[in-house]
Structure formats: structure tokens, C-alpha cells
Structure 1
């Protein structure tokens, strides 16, 4: 029989135990503390650009069952750029805001516990028409992009931080989702960390399915050096940390 005694080596089991409802303390929402903002603001002075509006995009229709049947991880991509329209479509499908409830909540194209939507979407752009290679952040509330850096070795640095998964360097764009945990724990306390990981799955599956409509392949990545990625993204790794990423690129052969 396995030894289920909780110990430093059993951090996962300890996490599950301590986040059971019977072990939770009052959340900050229950204490009447102010809710965190719905989105991190862009840093002053950084370029911000509008994206094509979702309603204007001419995206081929694809039967949902066909998209589900085709969906699989793709690590080899054609040397063909994505268009800005296609990128706009993928961003809307993964974090697009359908409506806002004042400053309290957003209702998006993906589910999130309590509509807390604790993610920020960063993009490693390698090959997208009209965009310089580099790091960007999606401003979901206004459907815009903020250009963070044009570091020419960024794709190499990120591939290394993902334990040399070199297909990252050959994708058209990589989606990097960071979590701002207080957006979730404000309502749910420590239990909210469970919800963050569930939400990551919702977001990434939407990316897989949406990519099928534009002849792109996706590969989700959960293996990365947390501290190295935090340094690359300029985040602290605690109040904001990378939770998941995925590469996207044009398929080498059609469906």
C-alpha cells in the first residue's frame, strides 16, 4: 500500500487537503475588501495597437464535431505566417470579452470560476504578418495588443526555459497565459488555486478547436522553468505567474 502520510515530498497531497472547504478561512470578498481590477493596465509608454474587431473577421465555418475529431497536438509547422485577422480570432476565442458587468466581472468566450478570469495573455510573436517579432500582451477589455519588447533572441530564451522544446522557435505565435491569483483567491481563498488550473484547461482547449478553423495546429506546453519564465516575462512569479503556454502555427498539410 502507498504511504499517504503528508510530508514535504507530498506537496500535492498537502495542497489538496488544505484546500478542502472545511479547511478554508474567510475570503477577502467575505471580509468586505475591495475586489482586484479585471485586467492589468499596460505600462506607460509602451505601444498599444487595435486588433481587427471579432465581428468583422471572415473566418471559415467549421463543424464543431469535425474540429473535435481533427484536434491533436502539432509540433511541426509550415513556413507561412499567420495574419493579424487570424491572431485576433484566436485571442477572442480564448479570452474575448462578450460583455462586462460594470467593474465587477466580465463574461468571456471561456468559462471561469465565478467569472473571475484571472489570466493575462502574453504572446511570443515569431511570424505574424504586420507584427514585429517579440513579446506582446493582449488587452482583452479593449481587444488591443500592447507591444512589450522586440528582443530578437526571445524565442530562443523561451525555448530554453521550456527545457529546449525547440519547436517553440518555429511556431508562428505562442500563447503564454499567466495567472493573477488574487483575482481568484479574493473570492475563493486558497481553493482558488484549484480553479486557476481548471480555467487553464478551458482556455487552451478553445485554442485547439479555434485553430482548426484557420488550418493551424497547436501544442500545449506545461513543462517550463517557472523562475526563468517569470524573469523573461518580467513578472514576480508569485502575484503573477505563468500557468500554461501553447504554440500555434500553420499546418504543413491541409486537413
Structure 2
């Protein structure tokens, strides 16, 4: 079968031959880039509820589970570690029911729901200063993504654009105000009156520092890992989302205030209660 082969397909192939010993900034002794851009002193920083606060509606919090798991008697541990079949059933349900959902109600998200979703897609489980282990895998633990959130209908948050600080589990207010019309235009009409929109921004140098030219495929893979976590987390809360790759690059970069080179939008996903 004859068909046109586009030049960009090379990007999908393994390119580890491009990683040459002694050629990366890491091997040259260049300081490691920060895990996140710290907020300016004058920025408005908002503490998010603990990501497991959403569990209060369903039973034990993680703190209570940790307390139980630290006990020596097996009965307390049995409460913490459910039967494997039950855990598999929960995951099966989430995977089987996961799908893209584009119609949302007017109901707002709670701040606890947003906290849980952000932790699910990029939350830090263990911070070791220059790198961290998170809820999503990342090549070399580089995590070359910044997470932006347009909060349209989120209880406890003013309407506006925020940036997630995963290490601190906080939000930084980038700007306040309802500019959902501009965002809808940047998303090519795919805002769908969502309660909020998550936008992934690539910060390639975090991976380039270690992997050079081989970093770019890793950035795309990491974004996919993160978005799948969002799908499953939304499904677990009865919420809907839909990954968007068909956006206007220049308009979305401008909406986020990014230069389009050192940082640029790479993915987006509206979130809301399913209509």
C-alpha cells in the first residue's frame, strides 16, 4: 500500500543514540533546573486542601490509614489493605468506564475535588530537593511539565488562571477574571462551559538537561501519563474530561503568557460534572 510518509514520524522512534556520554548539561556540571518556577514575593499563593481530604466523604483519610497500618495487629492492616480482587475490581471499573466526556452541567467543582485531581496528575509523593517522585512516571524523574488551571466554577476560588505548585501542593494566581471566551478561542471552541480547564505546559529543558535531544519524546510520553491519570481520577469522582490536542498553539501560548520556545502548551483538558 502506498501512502505519504510525513517527516515527523521519526519523533515516535527510540532515539537514545542521540544521548552521548559527556554531552548533556548534567554531565558538564551545569546546575540542575528547578522542579518548578517559584512564585514571586508579591504573588497570591493559595494553599490547597490535602489531596486525601476528598476521602472523608468515603471513609478513612490517608492519615487514619497510615495510623492503622503502623499497628502490629493484622486486623488493623486488613482494613488498610483490601483484598486484591476488590482493588482490581475498582481499577477495572475505572478503566472500563473511562471515556471522553464533553457535556457538563453548571454544577461547580469543590476545592477538595480540584485538589485531588491536581495531585493525581502531578502530585509529589516524595520530595528529595532537586528531584521528586510523583503520582505519574517521568523519564529520569525530570517532570518537564507545568500545570495551569483556568478555574471557571470552583468553590473557594475566584475565577481566573492559576498555576499548580506540585512540591508545595499550592496554587499561584496568574491573573484574575473570566477570560473564558479567549480560552475557548484558543481551544478551537472546545471549552464546553467546563468547571475548569487543565493545561499542560512543556518545559523541555528540565529533560534536556539530562537527555539532550532525546528529551523531546519523553516530554510527550510524560504528558500522556499525566493525562491518563486525570481521566481515571475524574472517573473516580463521577466527573468528566476530554483530552484536547487540537488547539491553536500561538493563541494558547499567548493565553498562558508563555514564550512558545522555552515553555509552550502541549495538552489541555476541560473538566466538569457530566450532563
TM over 0.5: yes
Give the Cα–Cα distance (whole angstroms) in 2 for the partners of residues 109 and 23 of structure 1.
Answer: 28
The corresponding residue for 1:195 is 218
- Mapped partners of 2:274, 2:242: distance in 1: 12
Gaps of 5+ in 1: 5-9
Counterpart-to-counterpart distance in 1, 2:191 and 2:4? 38
SS in 2 for 1:63: helix
**Alignment pair present for 1:159 and 2:184:** yes
State whether structure 2 residue 215 is matched by structure 1 residue 218.
no
Tell me the SS of whatever aligns to 1:209.
Answer: helix
Distance 2:134 2:254 in 1: 29
Partner Cα distance (2:198, 2:245) in 1: 12
Asked whether 1:178 is paired with 2:204, we answer no
1:69 corresponds to which residue? 96
Give the secondary structure class of the aligned counterpart of 2:242: strand
Structure 2 Cα separation of the partners of residues 187 and 39 of structure 1:
16
Gaps of 5+ in 2: 60-88
2:113 pairs with 1:92: no
Mapped to 2, the partners of 1:213 and 1:13 lie a distance apart of: 35
Report the count of equivalent residues. 242
- Could you list the per-position Cα deviations for residues 134-188 of structure 1 after superposition, in whole angstroms to 9, with x for gaps in the alignment? 1001111111111111132x21111101222241xx1111100101100011111
Displacement of 1:24 after TM fit?
4.4
For the residues of structure 1 that align with 2:4 and 2:118, how far apart are their CA atoms? 44
SS of structure 2 residue aligned to 1:247: strand
TM-score, L = length of structure 2: 0.83
Give the conservation status (yes or no) of the 8 Å contact 1:219–1:247.
yes
More divergent stretch after superposition (49-58 vs 243-252)? 49-58
Q: Find the residue that maps to 1:78 and give its secondary structure.
A: coil
Q: Does 1:142 align with 2:159?
A: no
Equivalent residues of 1:78, 1:251 under 8 A apart: yes
- CA RMSD between the two structures: 1.9
Matched position secondary structure for 2:237: coil
TM-score (norm 1): 0.89
Q: CA deviation at 1:217?
A: 0.4
- 8 A Cα contact 1:60 1:213, kept in partner: no
